[in-house]
Amino acid sequence: MSQKNESPNKSPSIIVFDVNETLLDITSLEPLFERVFGDPTIMREWFAQLVLYSQTMTLSGLYTSFGDLGVGILRMVATIHEVTLVDGDIAELKERMSSMPAHPDVIPALTRLRDAGFRLVTLTNSPSSASPTPLEKTGLSQLFEHTFSIETVGKFKPAAETYHMVAKNLSVETSELCLVACHLWDIIGAQTAGCRGALLTRPHNAILPASGVPLPDMVASDLNTLVEKIILNKQG
């Protein structure tokens, strides 16, 4: 299977969605950080460190689950801020991570994409879990034909193997995939692997204006507008 986009003018037929923050609202974790640290914005520090160390593990040839890393990063951030955690704090993090709600624009946008004839799948750094999954709890799972986890390849996004794994399992070229994510690093990884990339600029996410950094194929600040662009791109 080719690992490059050999048909740059062909509109992708399969839309691959990132899950955490793109579909599910991670601000639902903030009450934990408000209670433990006295500052809900520490959640963003925790999440940034979680992404950093997931990528560090992959670059170093190591692997542990995203959930275990999340707990470890919470302990690390607590040490940095000289805060003492108790077992109940860890349990609350796990519970909140497993029950994040969907953003309000998600179900209407996904429904519109599916009605327009696109195939929909997800690709997440989070490991598979016993039912009900976060997507099942929100009612989103029925809109996707497949949910992929990077644990299959033991590497975190944006490693090229994660996007190639999706294409291989769907028996398509990566050029037939378009990743929708609110994290530019994820978009860059997908584009480098031969996919299209559609950036959703939810709060705390934006384009990186630096030399050599590729631009997303499409950008919008809400999912409905981004879906409109994806559909128009297919029609055009």
pLDDT tens figures, 171-226: 999 999 999 999 999 999 999 999 999 999 999 999 999 999 999 999 999 999 99
The confidence band for 228, taking pLDDT boundaries of 50, 70 and 90, is: very high
pLDDT of 70 strictly over 70:
yes
Q: What is the pLDDT of residue 236?
A: 60
pLDDT of 64 strictly over 80:
yes
Q: What is the pLDDT of residue 9?
A: 53
* Residue indicated by tokens 């995203």: 66
| Residue range 93-109: mean pLDDT, rounded | 96
Q: Using alpha carbons only, what angle is made at residue 149 by residues 184 and 230, rounded to the nearest 5 degrees?
A: 45
Which domains can be identified in the chain, with CATH numbers?
14-24+101-235 (3.40.50.1000), 26-97 (1.10.150.240)
Q: What is the pLDDT of residue 1?
A: 36
Residues 6+ apart with CB under 8 A from 11: 233, 234, 236
pLDDT tens figures, 137-178: 999 999 999 999 999 999 999 999 999 999 999 999 999 999
Q: What percent of the chain has pLDDT over 90?
A: 90
Q: What is the pLDDT of residue 39?
A: 98
Chain centre to alpha carbon of residue 146: 15
- For 6-134, strand residue ranges (E) read 14-17, 119-124
Eight-state DSSP code of residue 86: -
Whole-prediction pTM:
0.93
- Average pLDDT, whole number, for the chain? 93
pLDDT of 8 strictly over 50:
no
Q: What is the pLDDT of residue 227?
A: 97
Taking only Cα atoms into account, the Rg of the chain, rounded to an integer number of angstroms, comes to 18
pLDDT of 23 strictly over 90:
yes
Kindly compute the dihedral angle of the four CA atoms of residues 223, 157, 10, 205, in this order, to the nearest 10 degrees. Answer: 30
114 compared with 9, residue with greater pLDDT: 114
pLDDT tens figures, 27-57: 999 999 999 999 999 999 999 999 999 999 9
Let me know: does 219 contact 199? Beta carbons within 8 Å.
yes
pLDDT of 3 strictly over 50:
no
